[in-house]
A and B are shown apart, each in its own frame.
Chain A
Amino acid sequence: MNIQQMAQSSQVISSPLGSQISVTNVSKIYGAGDFAKEVVRDCSFTLDRGKLTVMIGPSGCGKSTLIRMLAGFERPSSGAITLDGKAVSRPGLDRLVVFQESALFPWMSTYDNIMFGPRARGEDTPEMRAYAEELLHKVGLDGFRKKYPAQLSGGMQRRAELARSMINKPAVMILDEPFRGLDAMTKKLMQEYYSNLYEEFRRTTFFVTTDIDEAIYLADRILIMTNIPTQVRAVINVDLPRPRHVEDITENDDANAIKMRALSLLHEEAMKSFARGSKAAADFVDAYAKRINKE
């Protein structure tokens, strides 16, 4: 891919709210013949302009695989992915992925990591630097601009990575379980940081998680996925007012209704694969059974 094409693709941003993505009948099969493994089957959904769509599904169901296809790193085996009507076939400046594990460049300071995108495009301007400072401040890393990723805590790394993506103002932002593996306190803090960033930066966003509370707190719409080979099992609209607060949500009846519905769907999916003997699914059922009993 050359820079020319990427530059062009970044200019298709037609709306300040970002782009619209449609996934139509997408399947993904890895390997061939006896080794073929179907990970995604006939999956369709849309990411609406300026909306935050959260995908929630059992561990290992194929969420990251869908993300790699949306990002253009891999192609679907069949079906189509379009961005504002144009087929997605390669990575582009219009779609930015925040990966499941930290992908900060270990050899660059926090500041240099954040400025990576602007510099790659020759935009190391005073305005950009000011914006980088602003983002550093927003994610609470002012004092850490010169530190390397290895010197940051897990939560700080995730924040630095959010800032590194946000500075590029992508038309679509894709986050793959960005807060996975963080302790409960840090996670809650991160959700608040992220929510604040999103309020200011309302663009089409695709957020993948396995945490139902996180999903309800953030989403405009929740896609509940089936087990592998995955497809959309149900779509739930979350019409709670914004800005939201974690405390309000735990006491909100609508939110609880959504949660119960989502949990029972997820529970069903997990039971299906439990019947097929998946250890991950069994753990999933246990964990959720415990949570439901507590509440």
Chain B
Amino acid sequence: MTTTRDRWSEALTPATLPRQARDSWRFTDLAPLKALDPGRLAPRPGVIPDLPPPAPGVVRLCLGPDGVSFSPAPADISWPAGVQVCAVPPDVADAPALAVRLGALLPGPSLGLQLAPGARLRLELVLQPAQAEAALAPRLWFDLAEDASLELALGLWGPADSLLVACVGARLAAGAELLEGQRLQGADSAVALVSGQVQQAPGSRYGRTAVVSGWRLARLEPQVCQTEGQAVTTFRDLALARGQATIDLHSQVRFGGPEGRLDQLQRALVDDGAQSVFNGVVQVPREAQRTDAAQLSRHLLLSTRGRVDTIPQLEIVADDVRCTHGATVSSLSDDELFYLQSRGVDRVLACRLLTRGFCRPIFDDLPPLIAAWPSEGLLP
């Protein structure tokens, strides 16, 4: 019988990992992933999170003592009306996302929920392994029927030398709404790979906000398909890349029909020798007339050793569309610093005020569940 460890070791061979030359990995070095020792990675018990108790009506699940299941067990929970535990669909073996392929080889808690028409749920998933060298691969699936609404807060904490591979899938029927907040905070040797697969029917809304801080390598690959257009997708990403971190966002939104909307804002702060990669694919085929898509990428580069790679990728075939794109990389402005200093604010604090100011548009607009989590240690 092959053990997880064997399969896992196999998965990390050069033959199975994506080749660095491949377009989508061209700017992202996989070395931090290869540096993890598959023989030592194992499920680790979760800790009780250092968070205020959940608000009334909010369900919070944490990583259980075995490190591979949720606690309390989803089956034991009295879910709100219309919410039912279901199976997580099997992973697609040839799914392009590395997270999907590696996740299938790793142990991890899984949760599938079905929301009946009109059902509402507020859910917090807090996955915080207690020890270093944790291996964790949560698989989450949410099936929202007409007009169902799910507010989801997903917290992933990565201890030293750990690997977190998360796959989040959702299907939104007409009028359904998914508001997702992700907070990914990792040690400077930890690796996170997070994929998302969301299908949106016309009239559905999907809002996703992610704040990523720390890690040695964190790669997020949210993919959305508006199957017939006429849906609304909002992406808000904030990366705080410091030390040697590489924080990589590869997003993809496909409009399968007309009149879809996308509002995407990516911001990253890059300090020390860190790197931020942003690749935002927007696909607007011929049938997606009157699509309205706006994508904006803003980088604040604080160090000369830092690196930014932005690769916008607008694939627009339809002709009657409004698609805008903007990308900026800036450093702290001398005039802004001088203005603050001229009022007695010392340079260090002035830099901090400006960097926080840069993060604020996303920070001030966090979905309510993760906004309630304390933000100490997140912002510079």
Asked if A pairs with B, the answer is: no
Residues of A within 8 A of B (CB): none
